[in-house]
Amino acid sequence: MAKISDYFGENVFDERAMKACLPADVFLSLKKTIDEGAQLDPDVANVVADAMKDWAIGKGATHFTHWFQPLTGITAEKHDSFIAPAEDGGVIMEFSGKELIKGEPDASSFPSGGLRATFEARGYTAWDPTSFAFIKGKTFCIPTAFCSYGGEALDKKTPLLRSMEALSHQAVRILKLMGDDKVRSVRSSVGPEQEYFLITREMFDQRPDLRFTGRTLFGAKPLKGQEMDDHYFGVIKPKVQEFMNELNEELWKLGILAKTEHNEVAPAQHELAPIYSTTNIATDHNQLTMEIMQKVAAKHGLVCLLHEKPFAGVNGSGKHNNWSISTDYGTNLLSPGDTPAENLKFLLFLCAVIKAVDDYQDLLRISVATAGNDHRLGANEAPPAVISIFLGDELTGILEAIEQDKPYEGVEKVQMKLGVDVLPKFNRDTTDRNRTSPFAFTGNKFEFRMLGSSNSIACANIMLNSAVADTLAIFADRLEASQDFDAALHEIIRESIRQHKRIIFNGNGYEESWIKEAVEKRGLLNYRTTPDCMPHLLDPKNVDMLMRQKVYNEAELKSRCEIMLENYNRTVVIEANTMAGMAKIHIVPAVEKYCADLAGAAAAKRSVCPELACRFERGMVSDLTALIDEIMEQTGELEKVIASTNEIENVVQRSEYIRDVVLPKMCELRVPCDEAETMTARSYWPFPTYGDLLYGVH
């Protein structure tokens, strides 16, 4: 058995590979580009490209691709081989600096939300040297940003990089004002915990709903669900363990720090968490992780479901975005620390996050909004659609004491006077746990828990970074303009607590009473669905902030709003069509056949014993026939409302119609179908049941 350290990162052109393959001066100049964003000299780029090509070919690669993240939410690649014709009729392998730095894929088929008409098909991809290139299969993949010819971002990486820069810029301003003169940059780090389901390929293939939509659209409750709570952290089954082992190896070869694996709450549900890294890299790695999970599952006769709600009545899958910010010399700014000066810094950054989350609740909600995630948020299993922050009793107590200028009556009795007195030492293990909060402080980081399992983490981090950057900018402006620095700092902290404490909630987020309190008493936003929240992306306050931080321009925001709503609409319409089809051509014929056989059995019995009542057969035939009629009626109605969606031009109105009319009709059709499943003999039912799917992998 090879040791992990021997093959970790072997498919990545990382710093070790760069050092080994590049002349020393070229390595240094590339490193400067990576660390400081300096422009890469074209001659240097040619040397780098050539070394990359030799390294990749040495590892069996035949093609290269610019690897990018268009707004579809998955990654895209167009492979070009390294070959170029040689004069003698053979080929040579070529790869130039120009090809490394810039690509021009035909961009017309990627969603642009009106940013780029199809006749202006040119878009270009630009190398992101801060994320290492890697080999996947036989292809050398170069992480890139994807822009329109006019320079508008058509992807998720570009705004993410812009938001990281904005955050760094504003955080450095604050730190410098607080006397830190060694800080050069600040970066946000993320550790995303990824949930997923594993089912057998054989069963997956038998279900059109899973194949076309990633979730089951029908399915009666299984005889055993998750009521026993016996799956969470349970013993991992051998077949699942084999999958996890291979997945880990593949991820390690790509330099992805896969760390934790365990069973989740629902049967067949599992989780994988990597060690955290810089947001940009964590995002690339999470996209790769999701892709490789599916590939490795296929090799094991399994399918990995990344949908947020594959099974009704069973916990769905999310992604916890553990987020923190730290300086280039490694100090975590969200770590309470134990010296007063650090505490003051911590309190200021903490207040910036609290204010940012309160002021931009809507943007955070928008950043996780998809048709799939709408099934989770607010369904008593995932955080609600209302955003609030969990701080734990200790921190909340400290903030209250600061706000009221009172002594803190916590673990230690300490007079709270900022900047002068000693703040209590925070013991991070005493911060209690709360699983129901959408945004929880967990010792030295915030855990944003509303992301859906299939979401790119880019969106949430773009909004989080931008909102915190903007808040820090407000703080920095005030501090710069103040006559008395300590007093201004004190006032900023107190004022932030006073104005934004409504967002802090340490109780049970799953309770209906909390939603009532949040909305009615505290005035927090409750956008339950994608059509509810998405249009607010274009609210002036949001557009202004994102433009101020240079993360998006107005055209980019409009395009995103339209694309996200269009995604929602298309997703639900595909589901509705799939449902109608399954009901008509799978379920009804199966139930019909069962009825016919029951009727035939009754007739046969009566031909032998004419006095038999055949109550069972007659009862079943009568009940099932009534269900068949109802199913056909509901299917007809669903088809009608699907057709009506085409008549609504406006994308917002179409999404509202889909939410208010199409989705409820789908629920109505599901009822008689699921009932028929519980009455139809097993051998007649056309699909694997919930019980089969959830308990099928051993």
Name residues contacting ligand ADP, limited to 160-189 (CB under 6 A): 189
Rounded to an integer, what distance in angstroms lies between the CA atom of residue 516 and that of residue 301?
46
Which positions from 425 to 454 touch ligand ADP by CB under 6 A, shown as an x/- string?
-------------------xx---------
Q: Residue 430: CB partners within 8 Å, gap ≥ 6?
A: 392, 394, 411
If one asks whether residue 74 binds ligand ADP (CB under 6 A), the answer comes out as no
| Residue 180 φ/ψ, nearest 5 degrees | -90, 110
CB nearer to Mg ion: give 99 or 447: 447
Nearest-approach distance from CB 551 to ligand ADP, in angstroms: 21
- Measured N-to-C along each axis, helices 157-177 and 340-359 cross at an angle, to the nearest 10 degrees, of 140
Q: How far is CA 592 from CA 328, 595, 596, 626, 690, in A?
A: 68, 5, 6, 11, 22
Number of Cα atoms under 13 Å in the Cβ half of residue 224: 11
| Residue 564 contact partner, candidates Mg ion, ligand ADP, none, CB within 5 to 8 A by sort of partner | none
Q: 63-67 and 139-148: which strand pairing?
A: parallel
Q: Which among 467, 532, 476 has a CA at the least distance from the CA of 500? A: 467
Question: Between residues 8 and 448, which has the closer beta carbon with respect to Mg ion?
Answer: 448
Question: In angstroms, what is the minimal distance from the CB of 524 to ligand ADP?
Answer: 24
275 binding partner (options Mg ion, ligand ADP, none; Cβ < 5 to 8 Å by kind): ligand ADP
Considering only residues 437 through 456, tell me which ones interact with Mg ion, judged by CB under 5 A. none
**Which residue stretch of 271-279, 368-376, 528-536, 584-592 sits at the interface with ligand ADP (rule: CB under 6 A)?**
271-279
Which listed residue (322, 370, 388, 465) binds ligand ADP by CB under 6 A?
Answer: 322
Report the candidate in 652, 559, 554 with the shortest Cα–Cα distance to residue 112: 559
Which residues fall within 8 angstroms of residue 456, CB to CB, at 6 or more apart?
69, 73, 156, 283, 286, 287
Element (H, E) at 447: strand 446-452
End-to-end CA distance of the chain, in Å? Answer: 25
Position 65 contacts ligand ADP (CB under 6 A): no
**295 to 314, contacts with ligand ADP by CB under 6 A?**
none
Least distance to ligand ADP, CB of residue 595, Å = 50
Nearer of residues 153 and 273 to ligand ADP, judged by Cβ: 273
CB of 285 to Mg ion, least distance (A): 17
Q: Which helix (H) or strand (E) holds 658?
A: none
Sketch the per residue contact string, 299 through 328, with Mg ion: x for CB under 5 A, - otherwise: ---------------------x--------
Question: Which residue is nearest to ligand ADP, using beta carbons?
Answer: 191
Binding mask 544-583 for Mg ion (x = CB under 5 A): ----------------------------------------
E-strand stretches of 183-251:
186-200
Q: Are 456 and 153 in contact (CB under 8 A)?
A: no
Would you say 90 or 330 has its CB closer to ligand ADP?
Answer: 330
Cβ closest to Mg ion, residue 193 vs residue 677: 193
529 binds, among Mg ion, ligand ADP, none (CB under 5 to 8 A by kind): none
**C-alpha distances out from residue 511 to 120, 452, 514, 528, 567, Å:** 51, 21, 5, 15, 31
**Mind giving me the DSSP string for 303-327?**
EEE--S-SSTTS---EEEEEEEEEE
Residue nearer to ligand ADP on the CB measure, 450 or 580: 450
Among 73, 113, 222, 274, binds ligand ADP (CB under 6 A): 274
Task: Quote the least distance from Cβ 271 to Mg ion, whole Å.
Answer: 9
Considering the complex, state which of residue 459 and residue 572 has its C-beta at the smaller distance from ligand ADP.
459
Write down the least CB distance from residue 566 to ligand ADP, Å.
32
* Kind and range of the H or E run holding 278: strand 277-278
Strand partners, 38: none
Specify whether the CB–CB gap between 384 and 437 falls below 8 A: no
Residue 324's binding partner, choosing from ligand ADP, Mg ion, none, with beta-carbon cut-off 5 to 8 A by kind?
A: ligand ADP
- Amino acid identity of 231? H
193 binds ligand ADP (CB under 6 A): yes
User: Which of 207/320 has CB closer to Mg ion?
Assistant: 320
Name the residues that contact ligand ADP, by CB under 6 A.
Answer: 189-191, 193, 273-276, 322-324, 332, 444-445
Name the residues that contact Mg ion, by CB under 5 A.
Answer: 320
